[in-house]
Structure 1
């Protein structure tokens, strides 16, 4: 190599790793995380800072998204008289809207910037929280109005897609699994937080019974006011401490090109099984416990397992497991970990189904009597022996139900992390076909692959979130009159679906001699 060539190469390397202008907030022009010198010296602290405040906004988004999952089970205590089917619709509709919003939220990041869109998406959370606070104080509100209000909670579901799309650009490939896992886990934890703290905030019992119900009754609107204020705080933090990346800019038409790729839809299908199960079970768990293990014909009398003590555990376990799934995928390959997750989900759902099959049928009182007792609680004669015996027997089985269900949640969390890690890996494999490592064609292909992978993350997240709508609706099964029987039939359907997901994962990504298996995706 000539002296001139050596000087040119050195100059190029210096420019590549030289300290760029990295503002505390606003736009960053120069961003090359794959360059080790740039990453270790300048990129890592900026990426970490953006990750922290992205997690904050996404966490609140998930809490608002699942606001109805726990409050729906408390509506009877504040004067509402909705059926179990109607309550399942209340927890399902936000998931449907959230899944649909994930596509425009994904495309908003390259268009407007990750920091700018985080500010907007956080402020949008004020709408569902304030509507919630206003209408839960009005028991005469028609059910269709509550459906419309619950739909606005879908704004929180869209936050996940934009957050993941933004963070994907900040980190190098070797760290994406862990970074995306932490980002998603911090968001997913918002479900556990709202399910744990909402009963306590509004004056109900919680914390495994350590917190007793307020004597003054349930005040649901407190939760709406609190989360509206937190949403404003998250928007301010995003404005002050996050960044937009010019490297992430692309046109929606360029992003939509990923819909023609086979792997976009294969991963979307698998993500229904992992994330769709996580969010769907999280939304339904309070009602599942209440339907199967609890009886309260009037607000002042109850027997069995109080959902407020345990409903948050599923989301908590799934959230904690998610970054572990990303770490395992970085170490062993995402496809192998995802396959193992589906196998565990099959075992877990069979355990839940076995437990539910052993429950005793609880005699139901005449609706006319319930109406009379509600009007005059002093007329309630107490629980008959047959009801007490059946509920006590079912309560004895609850620990088995909980352990099996938490096992399913852990598997969904690990599968969420590993499935999302597979996406950048798949697109990196495709980029390798462009040319030798370091060649201009290869570098261009890798840059395109990062942008496309972020678009795919959004599409996969949107389709996967549909599971959060389908699962509660399947539990409500209007074609089955008995809610308990409907729950059992739903778990049969889910088990069969997981078998299909496992088979697809093996055939597409682990089958011997397949392209993706050779690359250890």
Structure 2
């Protein structure tokens, strides 16, 4: 029966997977996607709410960037405890609880979203929406435990992509409201999410399961913190997911501040990039399953650098069409890279287990244990990358009135990520020295 604790779970056993495991894993995946999707929408609420904040709110562009930066920061920090909550309370149990907690920031925003509210109050409520960012970490850790290594790229990509789509969906909801009811009615967006939050919690309670074998021990977290590959992967994930979430939060404000778009004009464009980035994330995972996560990641960072050059040119020449082409490409590539980098995480730790002489389920179990613990740290670092993006834009617009300087800094970081991917996971000399630890096919 759904909702119970499953005591035995061995997805690497092909007979178990074919006869029982795949059906259970897929059911948990679909309802995990629903909950994470709503979590992302709540996390990114303020990227939409700031579009409703006209002159009567008394908040300047720098203040709006700081609001969305606050939501990004809190979302990054809560990812760490959310990761370990799955093992402590169970994936199904924590999904129900974390879904219900989304009511707090949504109802709070419903109450305060009006002219005359103090900036400090807006800041506090924006911080509350950060808990929606934590849902990603717990959801990914949970789904990572359900699937065998050979399917993790697809499963994690689909789970994350379905969650990421919460970003363009809430932006489309904002566009619909602005285009029909007008910019004076942000509460319609907020009110629409309350029944959706309740639906996600009820579905998780009825149809998801807890896995007893993934009950955590404190050693997993300690081992993940000490492992250098946790932090190498964190840097790469900053480059992909940090870009995706940072751009998602900032896109509308960049269009308004840098290109003079109205709230309706900005809202009509902001959803396109996040939507593409979300849809291609499973593709990145699938490509990584087939060709190796590091190979796809390296090519992806090179393409992101090229797209950033296009955006720099557009920003300097104030060409909105060219800017939209380059920025949309950045979104799509960040989504593709999200899938490939997240696929690398279980591959790295499984390869390390093999290097220790472990085989079969013993190696798979160790890989799941450490990759599950590392995902929270890596996910938190990626979200902090989104904060860095928001702060870079804020500083760039404050000093020069354009986002050009911010884009130059992003270009430099993509170059660093490319060099790191090559040096650690693909360079022949490094692979020979690390063999068999990092020459595992799932990594490179």
TM value normalised by structure 1: 0.81
Match for residue 8 of structure 2 among 21, 24, 30: 30
Match of 2:166 among 190, 197, 212: 190
Matched, 1:178 2:144: no
Q: Does residue 80 of structure 1 match 2:54? A: no
Distance 1:243 1:517, change over 3 A: closer
2:272 and 2:120 mapped to 1: Cα distance?
A: 30
C-alpha distance after superposition, 1:3-35 (max 9, x if no partner): xxxxxxxxxxxxxxxxxxxx2222111111111
2: CA distance, partners of 1:281 / 1:214: 27
Confirm whether residue 218 of structure 1 aligns to residue 184 of structure 2.
Answer: yes
Match of 2:80 in 1: 103
Q: Distance in 2 between matches of 1:28 and 1:314?
A: 39
CA distance in 1, matches of 2:96, 2:82: 12
Residue 280 of structure 2 is matched in structure 1 by 321
> What are the ranges of 5 or more consecutive residues in structure 2 without an aligned counterpart?
none
Matches within 5 A, 1:422-433: 422-433=344-355
1:437, distance to aligned residue in structure 2 (A): 3.6
Question: Matched residues in 2 for 1:479 and 1:308: separation?
Answer: 20
Q: Deviations over 1:326-345 (max 9, x none)?
A: 01101110001010111011
Q: Deviation at 1:444?
A: 2.9
Tell me how far 1:453 sits from its aligned partner: 0.6
Q: Deviations over 1:264-306 (max 9, x none)?
A: 000001110000000000100011111122256xxxxx9xx81
- The 1-side partners of 2:67 and 2:379 are apart by 21
Contact in 1 for aligned 2:137/2:375 (Cα 8 Å): yes
Aligned twin of 1:337: 296
**2: CA distance between counterparts of 1:156 and 1:223?**
16
Distance change >3 Å, CA 67–CA 258, structure 1 → 2: same
CA distance in 2, matches of 1:356, 1:269: 26
Q: In 2, Cα distance between the equivalents of 1:480 and 1:316?
A: 29
Q: In 1, distance between residues paired with 2:155 and 2:200?
A: 20
**What is the aligned residue count?**
437
Q: CA RMSD in A?
A: 1.6
> Secondary structure at 1:204's aligned position in 2?
helix
Give the C-alpha shift of residue 457 in structure 1. 1.2
CA distances 1:467-496 after superposition (whole Å, capped 9, x unpaired): 111111110107944432xx1110011101
Structure 1, unmatched stretches of 5+, are: 1-22, 206-212, 297-301, 360-396
CA contact under 8 A between 1:128 and 1:152: conserved in structure 2?
yes
Work out whether residues 73 and 87 of structure 1, in 8 Å CA contact, stay in contact via their aligned partners in 2: no
Cα pair 1:294 1:306 within 8 Å, conserved: no
C-alpha distance in structure 2 between counterparts of 1:100 and 1:436, whole Å = 34
Residue matched to 2:315: 356
- Counterpart in the other structure of 2:419: 503
Deviation, 1:256, is 3.0
Is 1:416 aligned to residue 375 of structure 2?
no
Q: Secondary structure at the match of 1:30?
A: coil
Q: Cα distance, 1:214 vs. partner?
A: 3.0
Equivalent-residue separation in structure 1 for 2:22 and 2:58 (angstroms): 53
Q: Is the 8 A contact 2:396 2:405 kept in 1?
A: no
- Partner-residue secondary structure (3-state), 1:37: helix
Cα deviation for residue 229 of structure 1 reads 2.0
Structure 1 partner of 2:204: 238
2:174–2:189 Cα contact (<8 Å) kept: yes
1:114, 1:166 within 8 Å by CA — same for their partners in 2?
Answer: yes
| Helix, strand or coil at the partner of 2:117 | coil
Q: Which whole-Å deviations, capped at 9, do the CAs of 1:244-277 have from their partners, x for residues lacking one?
A: 0001111234333210001000000111000000
Equivalences for 1:263-302 in 2 at 5 Å?
Answer: 263-294=229-260
Tell me the CA shift for residue 121 of structure 1.
0.5
Confirm whether residue 457 of structure 1 aligns to residue 378 of structure 2: no
For normalisation by structure 2, the TM-score amounts to 0.95
Q: What is residue 3 of structure 1 aligned with on the other side?
A: none
- Which consecutive segments of 4 or more residues in structure 1 shift more than 3 A? 478-482
Match of 2:322 among 400, 403, 406: 400
